[in-house]
Structure 1
Amino acid sequence: MSSMRPEERIQFPLAPETDTLRTSYNSLLASYSVVHRALQERTEEAGSLRTFLSKTDEWSGAQLLQAIHDLNSEIVQLSASVADEFSSSLDRSRDLTRTSDRELVNNALGPVMMNLLASRDHMADPTLVQFAIQAWEVSCVGKVLDAFCYGLPADVDQFLNGVFEHMHRAEPQPTSSRWRALTYTHARALLPTPAGGGQADPLRNLLDTNIRGLLAILALSGCTDSRGTHREPLRARFGAALVRIGQSAERIASAMKEGVMSTVFQVTWIPPRGTKRKEKEKEPERWFDWATMENIYAGHASERSRVLCTVELGLTCTRRTGPTAGDSDSTSQENGSLNGSVNGYGTNGSTGLNYERMSEPVLTRNLLLKPKVLLESVTDIL
């Protein structure tokens, strides 16, 4: 038997060298850094996807409808106030109309309404003058609501509208809506502001144009009151109301583009005939359609008539429902509820796109609020 003590027979391992431990630690630390960085990247990707796939709306359809109703009410109140204010001075003792006045308001009123303003005596009944002002205001705020981002150069705005239309057909609804929201937010941030932009501020420019249009309508109607023939008195009297209308339009535009992800809302109106193209004979007639418009004088005169002008805005809602084989006919019907376009110029006021390809998603448009229109046939009773 061995005379060695038990503790002498145990073989203890030699302590590892410090360099070996350091090497192992560095290797584990590097592996941890790689895994941690990969986890961060995946977390950022997931967060980005949540942003672009979120269908959470900050504004509901009911809220937008109420906002459009309120804006229409503001326009009606302003128009009635202006018409009443100057009705007694519409005596046509002098003709203060200028060519520039006609050119300014022609696209908003159309030649028929302009001739009615210039040829009739409105002193006893200024109703036509009120409707002309409403049509002018609809045109002014429509530019804000219909633009991708009001204040951008026209070619840039039209291009961005075209990009959104294409994306709306090709990408999931939340993705295209989020892209528009982000692009709108950053584009708007780069526009001139009242503090730094002075006269270049888009809303200030809108106010100036709006006042010039009111002056033009009053001049066409025979106004001889100096308060209605000069810019500053008119601005002092009605400038605050015009500013509120412009701000309301901008707030609604922001809500539709930044606050709604699950669908696409658009305001709609019917432009007067004779204004879209230079060649009148090539322009489609704008006849009254009970399914897409509301006659403000329903029950009076014939509704088999052309639209004279739009006096209150409407609202549509468009959803992308995904491709369905064989649904090309129904797609055309759904998207043709407003004659295949919105506001007579294709979706969002830019170039119209073809929705009738069977391989493409179905865009379903619902009319939530009909625009109110004045018909040419009704002018005989006014």
Structure 2
Amino acid sequence: MSWFTYLNNGTKREGSSGGWEERRSELASSPTEWEVLSQSEERARKAGSDGERADGADESDNESLTVIEGEEDLANQLDAVKGQLVVVSRENASLQEKLSRANSASTQIEEKSNRSVIRMRAELNEAQRSMATMETEIAKIRAEAKAATEESQQAQVRARLEMKGTKNVAEEKTQKLTRVELQNEALRQEIKSANDEIERLRALSSSLTGERIRSQESSGVLKEQARSLEKENSIMNEEIQRLTGQNTQVLTLLGIRTADERSQFIRQDLSSEADAVKKLAALNSEIYDAAAYMSDSFTYELQVPKTTEVRDALERTPKMLGSTTVSALTSKRHDEDPLMVQIAFQFCMVECCRRIITSWCFDGSKVEEALPALYDRIRKTESQAGIVSMNWRALTRTLARSMLHSQSADISSRAMPMLTETLVDVLLVAGCLGSRAQIREKLTTQFNSRMSNIVAMAVRLNEITGEEITSCDLKVASYSSGVDFDAKIMEDGYDDNKWRGPWEQPRVLCTTELGLHKKVPSSSEKAWKKLLVVKPKIVLSSLPGSLSHRD
């Protein structure tokens, strides 16, 4: 008889009544253990049934030995099962601990997410328009966080229900928890990215607010300046009307005088025409020397750098030099022979001096335009051979300069910065090595005295032609780019003999030396005669073609 048959048939031996039930109670202390033990009994029962059919004849003889061996095997199997149950219990405890940590982490993530949402809502009140899309993202993040939390909770429930499974099932659940943790980490990264984006938008909002405030302040200043200019313009218009009325009265009074009486109103010249010609020649010579020396003092790159400073200079220089001259500066090499830079320097300084010499008050205001116009009206209406108009011109320019600029240094301080910045633009366009600040520093430290001397000479010519000579009207002459060359009234300062073809018409590139014209009263009343005193020197547009191109 097998040990299982012995147990199930209720065969009782001495000292063993009720012992098996007690043994089972000791070995199985939980439903899971009972289930495992029952499976073991079932297998033993099947084995016992097979043994009965095979060994039916020997059952009575071997009954004692079978019971003893069955009890030992059963004890060994039960010990093994108990060991497995201990391992399973430990794994269950480990999984419970991991689930607890996952639940805690999920709770922390949800709390952090809620706090982040609260902060984001508070910050979004200041920039609702610019951060409208962020609200959608935050809602999405919250939904994903909630979904992840629910999934984590569902995973925990499923994990608790599946704790009775095998080790492979437990590992599968662990992998699911790992995926949940990875999802939570991804959500944390998204929340961090959202916070960073909010900070960026807050900074942008602050910057825009500052710019708006500055724009409002600037707008207020500009409005105030506009009102001030309107008042100044109104005052000057009233002054012009008053002066026009006074001049009309003066002309009326002077018109009844005889020719013999005119002489007492003629103001003697303090300087002569020869003095003006001499000063102009000295100015042209100084401009030429300074331009040649300055252009040779800088280093030029083979290619013009494509920096922001160069692009800004390229936008400004065509207004001053003309597009043809700018094109020659950018396309020609200057590292071996900076002739084109020298010509551009001459033109800039000549143009600056021309404006100084012809200026009435050196402030660039509306008065600068009104006074010459008023002078032309007086000259056209008078019948005293320019006596009244030229004396009025001398007195007015003297008075304007003394009222607005007590010293020549004041005029120089206004003209020097503009001239310096123009020369810096020329050097940048030509590919000069260095930044704008470095080039300006070199110009001001090495050549400030020469440029100041040129400005002072121009101011002196302004005094001679505008205030000290009243017997004629002297005016400096120059020609702009694109004008047809006329040898009768101008001179080629850099004659290259390239335009001498019979069908060619040369054109002016720029002026490099100032000329001088004069107007004198003619024999007929209210008529003026224009005479050429000094021809201005120019550069022809064909000259850049003889220079070396950049590679």
Assess same fold via TM > 0.5: yes
Q: What are the superposed Cα offsets for residues 269-318 of structure 1, whole Å, 9 maximum, x if unpaired?
A: 00224xxxxxxxxxxxx110111110113361115211100000000010
d(CA) in 1 for partners of 2:304, 2:349: 27
2:267–2:391 CA contact under 8 A, matched in 1:
no
What secondary structure, in the 3-state scheme, does the structure 1 residue paired with 2:322 have?
helix
Matching residue of 2:356: 144
Distance 1:368 1:101 in 2: 37
SS for the counterpart of 1:267 is strand
Matched, 1:220 2:429: yes
1:193 Cα deviation from its structure 2 partner: 4.9
Cα gap change, 1:93/1:316 in structure 2, threshold over 3 Å: closer, same or farther? closer
Q: Is the 8 A contact 2:379 2:526 kept in 1?
A: no
Aligned with residue 332 of structure 2, among 120, 123, 144 = 120
Are 1:188 and 2:353 matched, yes or no?
no
**Letter matched to residue 108 of structure 1:** M
- Cα displacement (A) at 1:322: 4.4
Counterparts of 1:285-296 in structure 2, within 5 Å, are 286-296=483-493
Matched ranges for 1:34-183 at <5 A: 53-86=265-298, 88-92=299-303, 94-96=305-307, 97-153=309-365, 155-171=366-382, 172=384, 173-183=386-396
Structure 2: runs of 5 or more not aligned: 1-256
Counterpart pick for 2:510 among 309, 312, 327: 309
Q: Partner of 1:230: helix, strand, or coil?
A: helix
Match for residue 467 of structure 2?
Answer: 258
Deviations 1:236-260 (A, max 9, x none): 1111111111111011001111110
Output the amino acid matched with 2:270: E
Q: State the alpha-carbon separation in 1 of the partners of residues 506 and 317 from structure 2.
A: 23
Matched, 1:361 2:526: yes
Distance 1:194 1:106, change over 3 A: farther
Please state how far the C-alpha of 1:227 moved relative to its aligned partner: 8.7
Identical-pair percentage: 28
Determine the C-alpha separation between the residues in 2 that align with 1:81 and 1:232.
Answer: 17
Please give the root-mean-square deviation of Cα atoms over the aligned residues, in Å: 2.5
| 1:244-283 → structure 2 map (5 Å cutoff) | 244-273=453-482
2:542 alignment partner, SS class: helix
Unaligned 5+ residue runs, structure 1?
Answer: 1-44, 274-285, 324-359
Q: For residues 219-238 of structure 1, what are the structure 2 equivalents within 5 Å?
A: 219-225=428-434, 229-238=438-447
Residue 412 (structure 2) aligns with? 203
User: Quick check: 1:318 aligned with 2:519?
Assistant: yes
Paired residues of 1:52 and 1:175 also in contact (CA < 8 A): no
CA distance in 2, matches of 1:373, 1:148: 26
Normalising by structure 1, report the TM-score: 0.68
CA distance in 1, matches of 2:301, 2:289: 20
C-alpha displacement at 1:232, in angstroms? 2.6
Q: Which amino acid aligns with 2:511?
A: T
Change (3 A) 1:93 1:310: closer
Structure showing greater radius of gyration is 2
Q: Is the 8 A contact 2:321 2:344 kept in 1?
A: yes
Deviation at 1:194, TM superposition (A): 6.9
Return the alpha-carbon distance in structure 2 between the equivalents of residues 263 and 184 of structure 1: 15
Higher share of residues assigned helix: 2
Structure 1 residue 135: deviation in Å? 0.5
Aligned residue for 1:338?
none
